[in-house]
Amino acid sequence: MVYNDALRARETARNESMPFPRISDLSKRLITEAKKTPERAWLGEVSAVVLQQSLRDLDTAYRNFFEGLRGKRPRTGAPRCKSRKGTRQAVRFTANACWSITAGGKLRLPKIGDVKVKWSRTLPSTPSTVTVVKDSAGRYFASFVVETGPQEVLPKTDAVVGIDLGLGHFAVLSDGRKIDNPRFLRRAEKKLKKAQRALSRKEKGSRNRGKARLKVARAYVRVADVRRDFHHRLSTELIRENQAVAVEDLAVKGLARTRLAKSVHDAGWSAFVDMLEYKAARYGRQFIRIGRFEPTSQVCSHCGVKDGPKLLQVREWTCRACGNVLDRDVNAAVNVAKAAGLAVSACGAQVRRAPVPAQRGEAGTHPKRSSVRWEQAGTSGRQTGEDVKPGTWPAIAPATPPTA
């Protein structure tokens, strides 16, 4: 409520061509004085630190918006009012709120009391801030801000990998491994349909509808959780095993507007690639993203000859230049690694890139000499004694050097 009141006050000042009110003025008017009114008397039941953080969040949102207009950061939309019916709600307590963790492992929050916590891990140091988040399924999470030591750097390895993401297989690696696509949403569709049908039959505004809505939300949250766990496990495994990881920059937004939209969203490629990127930076690995227009499915990974585009139904093809039978996905994964500058052999095994010596001799005919020979040949074949069709290159014998 304080966030929306402050946003409304600033928008009113902008419409009236007045300067934006400062945080101190908004705090005095919307918090201190508002508590004395009957409409906002309930603000006294909430910690004052939480109300102050709402004003700071609004100030940060405006700062990010204006910096985006100046080009200093990615452009974002203007701040908007928050809804109390949103799928995610959060409150943040700083050190000034005098919150603490009790000896019994409970979280003591001001004007709330002791809250029982199921700890997922031990905190590495004393936290400075805690944020309590409520998701759409009615679950509460506590997120702590702690100070950690230097980031862990994994031991170096010679292994590199290129990844080709898809729908038939979630990921195909340049070493030949294929990771199946779990299709979490597809597997849970039967249960989701049953929960949604039950929700649609409930009367709007009733308590039973609220319970049914919570069941639907929990079903969707369970799908998102198992998908996120799969992404974390696979990305961690790839980062630990390989020194460098290369992926292709896919047009996910474009693919999500096709008939494959549900399958594309179910795979979650963008979230998986983001995990690879930040984990590589955290553990001292190299992450490379190549352009989406690289012809990874058209180039032979053995000889490098571009064999042209192929239909999606073609899963194996034979190179016309070298005769090797290529798996479409494995070949694309190897080409992803090569396009990123990683050393991968034609069979998919990782190798070190060997130094290439400089070429000492000219491998062809000098451009000036070739143009002279073309003019000499003309279209009648006078030099070779045979007729030459226009636009063709005649076979010309080397000229005999003059004798002394």
Residue whose tokens read 């006294």: 44
Give percent of the chain with pLDDT exceeding 90.
36
Q: How far apart are CA 396 and CA 399, in angstroms?
A: 9
363 part of a folded domain:
no
Give percent of the chain with pLDDT exceeding 70.
84
CA–CA distances in Å: residue 42 to residues 45, 48, 66, 114, 282? 5, 12, 33, 21, 44
Q: Which of these ranges, 147-151, 181-185, 351-355, has the smallest mean pLDDT?
A: 351-355
The number of distinct structural domains making up the chain is 3
Q: How far apart are CA 322 and CA 356, in angstroms?
A: 23
pLDDT of residue 140: 93
Which residues have a Cβ under 8 Å from the Cβ of 137 and sit 6 or more positions away?
Answer: 214, 217, 218, 220, 221
Annotated catalytic, 164? yes
Average pLDDT over residues 64-83: 89
From 127, 149, 171, the end of a domain falls on 149
pLDDT of residue 203: 93
34 part of a folded domain:
yes
For 268-327, where are the alpha helices, taking DSSP H only? Answer: 269-282
Q: In the numeric block, which tokens belong to residue 208?
A: 């039973």
289 and 318 co-located in one domain? yes
Q: How far apart are CA 157 and CA 251, in angstroms?
A: 31
Mean pLDDT of the chain: 82
Q: In this structure, how many other beta carbons lie within 10 angstroms of the beta carbon of residue 108?
A: 13
263 and 317 co-located in one domain? yes
Q: How far apart are CA 183 and CA 181, in angstroms?
A: 6
179 and 309 co-located in one domain? yes
279 part of a folded domain:
yes
pLDDT of residue 253: 86
pLDDT of residue 374: 38
171 part of a folded domain:
yes
Q: How far apart are CA 64 and CA 77, in angstroms?
A: 9
Q: Cα 386 to the chain's mean position, in Å?
A: 64
Residue whose tokens read 């309930």: 42
- Domain around 129: 83-149
Model confidence pLDDT, tens digit, residues 225-239? 999 999 999 999 999
pLDDT band at residue 329 using 50, 70 and 90 as cut-offs: confident
Q: How far apart are CA 21 and CA 30, in angstroms?
A: 12
Complete DSSP assignment for 75-112: --PPP----TT-S-EEEEE-GGG--EE-TTS-EEETTT
Please state the φ and ψ torsions of residue 200, each to the nearest 5 degrees. Answer: -70, -20
168 and 291 co-located in one domain? yes
217 part of a folded domain:
no
Q: In what order do the strands lie in the sheet with 89-93?
A: 89-93, 129-134, 140-145
Q: How far apart are CA 36 and CA 28, in angstroms?
A: 12
pTM attached to this predicted model: 0.74
12 part of a folded domain:
yes
Q: Say if CB 323 and CB 145 are below 8 A apart.
A: no
167 and 298 co-located in one domain? yes
178 part of a folded domain:
yes
pLDDT of residue 365: 46
From 294, 316, 339, the end of a domain falls on 339
Model confidence pLDDT, tens digit, residues 186-242? 999 999 999 999 999 999 989 999 999 999 999 999 999 999 999 999 999 999 999
Which residues have a Cβ under 8 Å from the Cβ of 266 and sit 6 or more positions away?
Answer: 183, 184, 185, 186, 227
35 and 101 co-located in one domain? no
Q: How far apart are CA 90 and CA 361, in angstroms?
A: 70
Q: Say if CB 109 and CB 115 are below 8 A apart.
A: yes
Which residues have a Cβ under 8 Å from the Cβ of 345 and sit 6 or more positions away?
Answer: 351
Q: Say if CB 141 and CB 133 are below 8 A apart.
A: yes
Average pLDDT over residues 35-63: 89
Q: Which of these ranges, 150-159, 224-233, 240-249, has the smallest mean pLDDT?
A: 150-159
The catalytically annotated residue of 5, 175, 248, 266 is 248
Q: In this structure, how many other beta carbons lie within 10 angstroms of the beta carbon of residue 101?
A: 18
Q: How far apart are CA 376 and CA 383, in angstroms?
A: 7
The catalytically annotated residue of 5, 175, 266, 329 is 329
106 and 144 co-located in one domain? yes
Annotated catalytic, 386? no
357 part of a folded domain:
no
Which residues have a Cβ under 8 Å from the Cβ of 57 and sit 6 or more positions away?
Answer: 3
139 and 177 co-located in one domain? no
Query: 100-101 and 107-109: which strand pairing?
Result: antiparallel
In this model, does residue 28 exceed pLDDT 70? yes
The catalytically annotated residue of 5, 164, 175, 266 is 164
112 and 238 co-located in one domain? no
pLDDT of residue 327: 83
128 and 251 co-located in one domain? no
296 and 175 co-located in one domain? yes
Residue whose tokens read 């998908």: 227
Q: What is the CATH number of the domain that holds 293?
A: 3.30.420
238 and 333 co-located in one domain? yes
Q: In the numeric block, which tokens belong to residue 176?
A: 């030949």
